Amino acid sequence: MMKIVIPDDFPPVISGTPMLERLKAYGDVTVWTTRPESQAELIRRIEGAEIVVNIRAYSKFTEEVFKKSPALRLLSIWGTGVDNVDLEAAQRHGVTVTNTPNTSTESVAEHALALMLAVARQIPHLHNQMTKGTWTRGFITQLLGKTAGILGTGAIGQQTARLCRGIGMKVLAWTFHPSEEKAREIGFSYVPLETLLSQSDVISIHLRLSKSTEGLLGEKEFRLMKPSAILINTARGAIVRKEALLEALRGKKIAGAGLDVFEKEPIDPEDPLRTLENVVLTPHCAPSSPEVLERGLSMAVDNVASYLGGAPKNKVV
């Protein structure tokens, strides 16, 4: 039978689900429910596998992994992002890579909006004060009439723009591949990056991590932002230079940040972000609704089936 390996179902999402049972119809499936602690461990787990279903982005599929996995023919990724895969190496070694696009659009956009509101209205801070027995009332930020700046207008960026428009915000956008048709349909305007950063009250990141976007927002970009600006990141942590973000938050160069993604995940217990009152943190859970999990896992299994049927779907390379 075809050897299929899931090397990284931790925390578990596919174990014990009907999708795993579906996958077993296509081969002999091995599921690992612990995190591979090294590249060597990942290579050991997928040894001899013709198909790998990748659940977690902490598993890095490098040149070395592909080189030492000569049997591998399909890497089916659960999720949209493929920044944990050396796509050029995959091509060189004849490995097809698929993903599950647009399965988490609504969930991530809702989470971005929730973070905006949580930071603007200081909800976690006020809640913590209340649980300590204090009654501290102060001014909060109303988003109606404010300007949202959307970085990246793919499916999630577009949905976030719709939600921002729905609560009465003006929406600006910047992206590498603008669509004036979508801008007209949803009701936002494309502007240069510098203009977006300087005019937006809330800046929400919805870009893929790539060589072009890694470290996109640094000290220079934070200097352009309003002191009252709020930064939201539900995309990838490495798009923002962490030291520049910390400096901006500590120095009140921006009002606050809502972060669901981090350069290193999980973040360290001693990470200074944990100590700042003007930050709302969530553990990369924006796409973790039951609806998203079911849709994404189903598509990942469908991608295996279509590949075996000779007509791969959702092919990245």
Positions annotated as catalytic residues are 236, 265, 284
- One-letter identity of residue 9: D
* Cross-strand partners of 151: 174, 205
E runs forming strands in the chain: 3-6, 28-31, 51-54, 74-77, 96-98, 147-151, 170-174, 189-190, 202-205, 230-233, 256-259, 279-281
Q: What are the backbone dihedrals phi and psi of residue 223, each rounded to the nearest 5 degrees, phi first?
A: -65, -25
Q: DSSP readout, 23-76?
A: HGGGSEEEE--S---SHHHHHHHTTT-SEEEE--TTS-B-HHHHHT-TT--EEE
Find out whether 233 and 189 touch, Cβ atoms under 8 Å: no
Find out whether 316 and 98 touch, Cβ atoms under 8 Å: yes
The span from the CA of 307 to the CA of 184, in Å, is 37
Token pair for 168:
């009465």
Find out whether 232 and 239 touch, Cβ atoms under 8 Å: no
Find out whether 237 and 261 touch, Cβ atoms under 8 Å: yes
Find out whether 279 and 273 touch, Cβ atoms under 8 Å: yes
Find out whether 268 and 275 touch, Cβ atoms under 8 Å: no
The span from the CA of 247 to the CA of 300, in Å, is 40
